[in-house]
């Protein structure tokens, strides 16, 4: 992706042409990660303008994301960012850069709030109950729509899309400096997880359209109200993978966090014993996915800042998980 400065004039021109309700829009860069996220101000009004990363999703998959967001806002009461329609009646807009590259972009509602990750520990636990309840609302809508609506276009989060040499976010075995002992324990855990997921299966009450990235930076808290943002990775996967995602950035206190998550989730959607037994596998599967993401994003500074601690703790948790799995198999 070209730099914000290189794209600035193209973005400004596109916005002025594509949204007639804007009077004097001004765009500034908020964050450059997978996508380019910008703040657009128009007088006293604020919006989020997102320029999508190149080549990650097709046009149809972007349209699928926006269609699902619209359904969630209309049918569930979940707080997610509304996507505004442009002059052409579409939510997905495009512009061409000075280098001749076509970019997709969208204009979305600005949602105020503090990221869950930035709260103190006691407040995180309190709000994880709401995160669990929110995930349940999302999943109930997904289950309902699978019976009544045409599937939206989206990619899948099956095991090989999460952990394999061709994994979408990168492969954990490519993590820089991974030693033989660490690789062995993670590989043994991967094998157990694959076996557990194969037994768990993909029934319609277990597998469907999910957010796939409900982590602590994609959850906003505002006056004890919760909002979920960034559906860029939404696709078809195991529903309970969203619970693994919710705690994926934390390495300690996971037992209490999961208890809060499940408590909130079961307010709306009771889980079977088999569901509860698979949650540790979802947590560890997501940690493997994040190791792959860290390995493939070494240029953004996150790997240097927290990667090695995350790897060490993941290996410790993998040991615990394998002991847990061994005990379960020997019952």
Pairing relation of β-strands 45-51 and 93-96? unpaired
**HEC sequence for 138-178:** HHHHHHHHHHHCCCCCCCECCHHHHCCCCCCCCCHHHCCCC
pLDDT in tens, 252-276: 999 999 999 999 999 999 999 999 9
CA 148 from chain centre, in angstroms, equals 25
Q: How far is 135 from 92, CA to CA, in rounded Å?
A: 26
| pTM for the structure as a whole | 0.93
Q: How far is 183 from 180, CA to CA, in rounded Å?
A: 5
> Hey, what are 204's tokens?
């319609």
The residue with tokens 């070209």 is 2
Residues 217 and 289 reside in one and the same domain: yes
> Hey, what are 225's tokens?
């109200």
Spatial CB neighbours of 312, under 8 Å, sequence gap ≥ 6: none
Residues 86 and 125 reside in one and the same domain: no
pLDDT in tens, 63-74: 999 999 999 999
Q: In which domain, by residue range, is 89 found?
A: 4-109
pLDDT in tens, 106-164: 999 999 999 998 988 888 988 999 999 999 999 999 999 999 999 999 999 999 999 99
Residues 223 and 309 reside in one and the same domain: yes
Q: How far is 331 from 58, CA to CA, in rounded Å?
A: 47
CATH no. for residue 20? 3.30.200.20
The arithmetic mean of pLDDT across residues 165-174, rounded, is: 96
Pairing relation of β-strands 207-210 and 235-238? antiparallel
* Residue-level pLDDT at 330: 44
Which of 109, 126, 153 is the C-terminal boundary of a domain?
109
Residues 58 and 85 reside in one and the same domain: yes
Residues 18 and 148 reside in one and the same domain: no
Please report how the helices 273-296 and 180-200 are oriented relative to each other, as an axis angle in degrees rounded to 10.
140
Residues 191 and 48 reside in one and the same domain: no
Which of 109, 132, 161 is the C-terminal boundary of a domain?
109
**Above 70 in pLDDT, residue 311?**
yes
Q: How far is 326 from 331, CA to CA, in rounded Å?
A: 9
CATH no. for residue 252? 3.90.1200.10
Count of the separate structural domains present in the chain: 2
Phi-psi category of 19—alpha, beta or left, where left has phi over 0 and alpha has psi -120 to 50?
beta
Which of 46, 80, 109 is the C-terminal boundary of a domain?
109
The arithmetic mean of pLDDT across residues 15-33, rounded, is: 94
* Residue-level pLDDT at 329: 44
Alpha helices (H) in 228-272, listed in sequence order: 241-246, 254-268
Residues 104 and 48 reside in one and the same domain: yes
């Amino acid at each position: 992706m070209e730099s914000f400065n290189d794209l600035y004039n193209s973005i400004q021109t596109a916005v002025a042409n594509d949204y007639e309700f804007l009077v004097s829009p001004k765009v500034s860069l908020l964050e450059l990660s997978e996508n380019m996220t910008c703040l657009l101000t128009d007088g006293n009004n604020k919006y989020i303008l997102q320029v999508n990363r190149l080549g990650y999703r097709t046009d149809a998959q972007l349209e699928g994301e926006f269609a699902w967001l619209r359904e969630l806002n209309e049918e569930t009461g979940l707080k997610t960012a509304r996507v505004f329609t442009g002059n052409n009646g579409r939510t997905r807009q495009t512009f061409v850069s000075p280098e001749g590259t076509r970019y997709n972009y969208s204009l979305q509602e600005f949602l105020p709030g503090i990221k869950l990750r930035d709260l103190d520990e006691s407040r995180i636990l309190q709000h994880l109950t709401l995160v669990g309840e929110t995930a349940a609302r999302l999943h109930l809508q997904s289950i309902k729509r699978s019976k009544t609506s045409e599937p939206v276009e989206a990619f899948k989060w099956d095991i090989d899309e999460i952990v394999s040499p061709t994994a979408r976010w990168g492969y954990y075995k490519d993590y820089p400096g991974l030693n033989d002992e660490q690789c062995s324990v993670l590989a043994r855990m991967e094998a157990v997880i694959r076996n557990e997921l194969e037994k768990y299966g993909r029934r319609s009450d277990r597998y469907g359209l999910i957010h796939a990235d409900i982590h602590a930076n994609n959850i906003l808290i505002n006056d004890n109200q919760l909002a979920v943002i960034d559906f860029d990775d939404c696709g078809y996967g195991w529903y309970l993978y969203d619970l693994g995602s919710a705690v994926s950035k934390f390495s300690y206190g996971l037992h209490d966090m999961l208890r809060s998550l499940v408590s909130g989730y079961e307010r709306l959607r009771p889980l079977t014993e088999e569901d509860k037994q698979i949650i540790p596998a979802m947590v560890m599967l997501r940690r493997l996915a994040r190791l792959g993401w860290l390995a493939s994003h070494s240029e953004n500074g996150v790997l240097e800042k927290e990667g090695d601690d995350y790897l060490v703790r993941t290996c410790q948790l993998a040991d615990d998980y394998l002991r847990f799995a061994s005990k379960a198999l020997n019952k």
